[in-house]
């Protein structure tokens, strides 16, 4: 690509896919010169306020796999992917200059880190932003809500009654081969980013690769091949095995697959195979995902504040000994310990486990909820800022829980969800 030719740059952030990607489709529509771009900023590996690496090895591995797949998917439609690994400001400025970029197409974000990053883009660049991570578009939701309700149920009922969900955009047709740039950018390795290569733990329930290809394969397997979706509501609180839940959250988190794509596959399954309470319940969980995004959009930085979104002042503790006992799985509760061991060794934990360990940290140990949220951010493969912080606020009793003082009993939870102690034995005997 010659310097005198202008280019549209598609900045991939949390939308690492080619199907149902509004930014990619618009960039192709608006120009004959399109290049992809992603930057792995070293700051995402620095220590957080509470001493955790912001992004640990599990999510990093999944990210690199996702980028590798994105590179291939883009290559199939003759679009090159620029991959850099430096501070964002230096990276974006050098790419703008090198490829004579005039417009950047990107997914619209609203949380603090993402907004701070955007401010580093030169003022003369035309930014085309699109919300591309919702079931129900913000434009539609705004028609029925001025302020998002505190409770999820009201939000869900109103959205389901009044709003429609758009069909996913198709994979763009290949561009002319001359659209490709001469330079070939490689995906960095874990070693390049300061991690040692590792194998997925033998007991991990999440042995999947990152990327759009694997995401679609998982949808097909879970929906149409095994038909496990028909049992989802019955199995979703289990703890062992890959099929107690869909496991789609990791691909949804980095945008390797769109939520609209998943929804339309649910509808297809319901039309062709079976419609029941379980198929609805997976859709129900996708609405929860939307809900937390709208809560964070409405409350902005309160979403990350010590007192939560409604300013509930609590006397939180920062007792390091208690924090370490929770992190290391050395509390007085075996059920909590087993879940924390699974997280530390695999980067994954069931929804039932997350509810219990978060509730225990905040309600029993009374530790500042933000410490738990940052630890999850570091470890979880499926970390999503909105769902993670929204769920922590919820469990800490300073978010959207209609019963903010509810407290789980880990022993009763263990008896109910791990009656034969198979899960506890698996992880506590490691």
CATH architecture of 1-132: 3-Layer(aba) Sandwich (3.40)
Amino acid 288: pLDDT = 97
pTM of the model: 0.96
For residues 276 and 427, what is the distance between their CA atoms, to the nearest angstrom?
34
Amino acid 2: pLDDT = 43
Question: Which residue in this structure is represented by tokens 């979104």?
Answer: 309
10, containing H or E segment: strand 7-11
Amino acid 31: pLDDT = 87
H helices of 123-258, where?
138-144, 152-162, 212-220, 232-235, 249-253
Amino acid 212: pLDDT = 98
Give CA separation, 37 vs 18, 110, 291, in Å. Answer: 13, 20, 29
Look at residues 207, 232, 211, 218 and name the one whose alpha carbon lies nearest to residue 262. Answer: 218
CATH architecture of 305-428: Orthogonal Bundle (1.10)
Q: What is the pLDDT of residues 316-353, one digit of tens each?
A: 999 999 999 999 999 999 999 999 999 999 999 999 99
Look at residues 227, 316, 213 and name the one whose alpha carbon lies nearest to residue 266. Answer: 227
Amino acid 405: pLDDT = 81
Amino acid 3: pLDDT = 46
Query: Domain coordinates of the chain in residue numbers?
Result: 1-132, 136-167+212-298, 305-428
Amino acid 5: pLDDT = 82
Tokens describing residue 253:
């988190």
* DSSP, res 128: E
Positions in the chain whose pLDDT score sits under 50: 1-3
Strands (E), 114-162: 126-130
Give CA separation, 386 vs 176, 299, 346, in Å. Answer: 38, 11, 22
Question: Which residue in this structure is represented by tokens 């060794």?
Answer: 345
Could you please state the CATH topology (level 3) that the domain comprising 136-167+212-298 is classified under.
1.25.40
């Amino acid at each position: 690509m010659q310097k005198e030719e202008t280019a549209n740059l598609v900045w991939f952030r949390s939308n690492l896919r080619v199907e149902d990607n509004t930014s990619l489709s618009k960039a192709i529509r608006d120009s004959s010169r399109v290049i992809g771009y992603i930057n792995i900023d070293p700051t995402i590996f620095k220590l957080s306020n509470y001493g955790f690496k912001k992004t640990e090895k599990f999510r990093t591995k999944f990210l690199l796999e996702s980028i590798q797949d994105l590179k291939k998917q883009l290559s199939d439609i003759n679009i090159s992917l620029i991959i850099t690994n430096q501070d964002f400001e230096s990276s974006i400025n050098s790419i703008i200059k090198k490829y004579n970029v005039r417009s950047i197409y990107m997914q619209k974000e609203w949380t603090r880190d993402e907004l701070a990053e955007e401010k580093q883009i030169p003022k003369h660049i035309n930014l085309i932003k699109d919300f591309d991570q919702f079931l129900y578009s913000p434009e539609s939701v705004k028609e029925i809500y001025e302020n998002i309700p505190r409770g999820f149920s009201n939000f869900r009922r109103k959205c389901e009654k009044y709003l429609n969900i758009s069909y996913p955009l198709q994979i763009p047709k290949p561009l002319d081969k001359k659209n490709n740039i001469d330079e070939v950018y490689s995906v960095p390795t874990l070693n390049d980013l300061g991690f040692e290569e590792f194998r997925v733990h033998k007991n991990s329930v999440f042995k999947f690769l990152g990327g759009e290809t694997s995401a679609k394969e998982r949808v097909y397997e879970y929906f149409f091949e095994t038909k496990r979706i028909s049992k989802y509501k019955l199995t979703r609180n289990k703890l062992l095995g890959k099929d107690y839940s869909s496991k789609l959250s990791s691909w949804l988190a980095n945008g390797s697959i769109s939520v609209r794509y998943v929804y339309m596959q649910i509808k297809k399954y319901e039309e062709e195979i079976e419609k029941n309470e379980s198929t609805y319940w997976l859709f129900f969980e996708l609405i929860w995902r939307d809900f937390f995004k709208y809560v964070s959009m409405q409350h902005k930085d309160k979403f990350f504040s010590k007192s939560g979104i409604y300013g509930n002042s609590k006397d939180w503790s920062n007792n390091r000994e208690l924090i370490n006992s929770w992190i290391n799985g050395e509390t007085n509760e075996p059920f909590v310990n087993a879940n924390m061991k699974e997280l530390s060794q695999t980067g994954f934990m069931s929804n039932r486990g997350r509810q219990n360990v978060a509730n225990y940290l905040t309600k029993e140990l009374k530790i500042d909820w933000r410490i738990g949220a940052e630890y999850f951010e570091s470890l979880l493969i499926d970390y999503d800022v909105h769902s993670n912080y929204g769920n922590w606020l919820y469990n800490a009793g300073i978010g959207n829980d209609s019963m903010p003082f509810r407290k789980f009993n880990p022993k009763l939870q263990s008896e109910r969800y791990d009656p034969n102690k198979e899960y506890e034995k698996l992880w506590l005997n490691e």
